[in-house]
């Protein structure tokens, strides 16, 4: 986790641009990798016979290879629904006793802009349609920004929460063109993201048709006097 200094940020909403004041917070240096998300999905942290003590609902196990063969350990977890992402953050919070959550749109934008990266740096800071070869890449394999955070631009879009409390994918991913990555790149969830799921009803946990969305966590409030390496 890396500290992000609070400040004001302009956020585009359905009613136009609005300025929002964001308090300081921590943000994860990398997108959540599969080896961490697997612990949540496969109950690797607990004996399944004793899971009554775990109050967080967990996703059903995927029926397809959700990493799409791109890579697993060290690669960003992908293809989970917003509900899966939200409950993952809740699970981490309960496990650690810290206030982990998905970032709000304004938190995410503040972190991205304060990192100092710009679109002209795209080939060294982001995996996008022009350089990704159609696949995700290991977390942190592009240049970090001034906040020591990797992959806010591209690789995978990340679940966030807009000013109305609704889910939003932000940042763009490895299939995005250059004008579709960065702090202004947002996508609202669409039924098309799970259109080809053959299950009836369709899964509420996994997206059959979106392989370019993942998770990044924030932690609030910003702890005082605690080294980042001491945050779980």
Query: pLDDT band at residue 226, thresholds of 50, 70 and 90?
Result: very low
pLDDT value, residue 124: 95
Run of H or E residues at 29: none
Determine contact, residues 139/75, Cβ cutoff 8 Å: yes
Flag whether pLDDT at 50 surpasses 70.
no
Run of H or E residues at 91: helix 82-96
Flag whether pLDDT at 228 surpasses 60.
no
**Chain centroid, CA 73 distance in Å:** 16
Question: The tokens of 90 are what?
Answer: 């809740």
Flag whether pLDDT at 232 surpasses 50.
no
pLDDT value, residue 230: 44
pLDDT value, residue 53: 38
Judged by DSSP in three states, 15 sits in coil
Q: What integer is the mean pLDDT of 194-208?
A: 79
Query: pLDDT band at residue 11, thresholds of 50, 70 and 90?
Result: confident
pLDDT tens per residue, range 61-111: 777 788 889 999 999 999 999 999 999 999 999 988 899 999 999 999 999
pLDDT value, residue 23: 93
CA distance 131 to 124: 10
pLDDT value, residue 195: 83
Is the link from the previous residue into 201 a cis peptide, with omega within 30 of 0?
A: yes
pLDDT value, residue 24: 94
Q: Is 32 left (phi over 0), alpha (psi -120 to 50) or beta?
A: beta
Q: What integer is the mean pLDDT of 24-35?
A: 96
Domains of the chain, each with CATH number or no CATH: 2-230 (3.90.1580.10)
pLDDT value, residue 60: 81
pLDDT value, residue 224: 54
Mean pLDDT of the chain: 88
**Chain centroid, CA 71 distance in Å:** 17
With a CB cutoff of 8 Å and minimum separation 6, the contacts of 34 are: 67, 72, 73, 74, 75, 76, 77
pLDDT value, residue 211: 93
Determine contact, residues 78/216, Cβ cutoff 8 Å: no
pLDDT value, residue 65: 80
pLDDT value, residue 144: 96
Please say whether the dihedral angle defined by the alpha carbons of residues 111, 114, 116 and 119, taken in this order, is positive or negative.
positive
Nearest one of 113, 86, 99, 97 to 22, comparing CA atoms: 113
pLDDT value, residue 55: 62
pLDDT value, residue 202: 76
The DSSP call for residue 60 is P
pLDDT value, residue 201: 65
């Amino acid at each position: 986790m890396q500290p992000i200094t609070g400040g004001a940020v302009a956020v585009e909403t359905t009613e136009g641009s609005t300025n929002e004041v964001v308090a300081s917070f921590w943000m994860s240096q990398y997108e959540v990798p599969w080896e961490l998300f697997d612990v949540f999905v496969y109950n690797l942290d607990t004996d399944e016979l004793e899971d009554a003590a775990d109050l967080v609902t967990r996703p059903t196990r995927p029926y397809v290879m959700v990493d799409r063969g791109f890579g697993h350990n060290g690669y960003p977890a992908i293809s989970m629904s917003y509900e899966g992402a939200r409950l993952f953050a809740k699970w981490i919070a309960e496990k650690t006793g810290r206030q982990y959550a998905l970032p709000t749109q304004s938190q995410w934008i503040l972190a991205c802009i304060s990192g100092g990266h710009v679109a002209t740096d795209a080939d060294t800071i982001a995996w996008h349609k022009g350089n990704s070869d159609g696949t995700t890449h290991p977390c942190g394999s592009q240049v970090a920004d001034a906040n020591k955070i990797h992959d806010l631009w591209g690789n995978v879009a990340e679940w966030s929460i807009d000013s109305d409390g609704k889910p939003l994918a932000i940042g763009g991913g490895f299939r995005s063109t250059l004008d579709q990555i960065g702090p202004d790149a947002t996508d609202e969830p669409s039924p098309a993201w799970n259109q080809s799921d053959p299950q009836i009803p369709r899964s509420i946990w996994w997206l059959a048709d979106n392989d370019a969305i993942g998770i990044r966590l924030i932690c609030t409030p910003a702890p005082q006097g605690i080294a980042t390496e001491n945050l779980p």
